[in-house]
Chain A
Amino acid sequence: MFVLIVGAGRVGAAVAKRALARGHEVSVLDEDPLSHERLVEVEGQTWEDAGGLFTVGTALEVDALIEAGVQRADVFIASTDGDNTNLTVSQIVQRRFGVEKVLCRVMDPARAAWYAEQGLHTISPTQHAIEMFDQALSTEA
């Protein structure tokens, strides 16, 4: 599978490394060239030597998405630190490039829920945290 990940923060970079280790082709797009540092492999092997791709660019620039390989992506993951960027780019990738599996990180639980109803696969870390805290509390009591 070809996996394109936009946003190489803690989450994006970790998911990228795992996907690469699992044998997928992985391409990462981030506007900050320094985010590349998060991708350096533990065994000292560089991201590129391990087979990973890295492109510097903004998510909303179609050229950057194309350079990062959106046209042949099987899976797209939007994991920048901005909900609005993630929601916008996910919809563009889904509608314009027809990528089959689009996963979108949305911190705001309300919008994560509404966009999920609209057919976007949203993942809300905030919602997960709420549920886990709530669960921990209820087992305490």
Chain B
Amino acid sequence: MYVIVVGSGKVGLNLSRELIDKGHEVTLLESDRRRYLIVEEELEHAVQYGDATELWVLERAGIQRADLVVAVTGDDEDNMLVCQVAKEKYLCERVIARVNNPRNLQHFKLLGIQPVVSATDLILRLIEHEVPRYGLVHLLALEEERLEIIELEVQEGAPAAAKRVGEVELPQGSLIISVLRDGRGFVPTADTVVEAGDQVLLVLDSGLEEMITPVFAPD
């Protein structure tokens, strides 16, 4: 795979190294002359000097044949525009953008840039996972497909507690896919009994959380 990585900070440099180790062809782009010279000592011809928001810099890097463009500079505007141009002008099918300020996530979405990776957001999700609020954790959101996977802790006395999976009343468009109990997880059958204290994983159509949460965690 040919990958163009934009921004040779810690993220970009480490990512490029890993990709090269895995046998991929990589061009790393860096717009700061001093940083470029440092990185060039290690990566040699795999790094090019230039501002990737300029079209000729992308073209020199061979954007026309890139399988993937990863924009991981510290500047959200740069990441957004590099990905936009890669997708829309050079028809590169896959882009990945780093979001530095989670408040800018909405702008990436608005410009149709996905997937995006936000370290702040990831850490927030991890914290949410460790300290679940209302017992609900979003594990995965497939935005294009409008599907989500969530995790809920079953409360004592909840409508679903002590019921067989087949009897738990769930809205259409949702399904219990896994039960976590005593440190291990399993895929339930219709006869599996949901116990208070279990963690259940559900796949659901986006937007159904509010109907599903009371079934497992009414408080």
Contact = CB atoms under 8 A, between A and B. Distances in A.
B75 interface: yes
A88 B99 CA distance: 14
A60 B110 contact: no
Nearest to B76: A60
A88 B54 contact: no
A14 B75 CA distance: 29
A62 B106 contact: yes
Nearest to B59: A110
A108 B77 contact: no
Size bin of chain B's contact surface: 10 to 19
21 contacts: A60-B76, A60-B107, A62-B106, A84-B53, A84-B78, A84-B81, A85-B77, A87-B77, A88-B77, A88-B80, A88-B81, A88-B107, A91-B111, A92-B107, A95-B110, A96-B110, A108-B54, A110-B54, A110-B55, A111-B54, A118-B88
Contacts, number: 42
Contact of B110 (A85, A92, A118): A92
A59 B80 CA distance: 15
Interface residues of A, number: 18
Contact of A84 (B55, B75, B106, B110): B75
Interface in B42-89: 53-56, 75-78, 80-81, 85, 88-89
A92 B106 CA distance: 10
A118 B85 CA distance: 11
A114 B58 CA distance: 14
A31 interface: no
Contacts of B76: 60
A3 to B, nearest CB: 23
Interface in B71-128: 75-78, 80-81, 85, 88-89, 103-104, 106-107, 110-111
A91 B80 CA distance: 11
A56 B80 CA distance: 24
Contacts of B80: 88
A84 B85 CA distance: 12
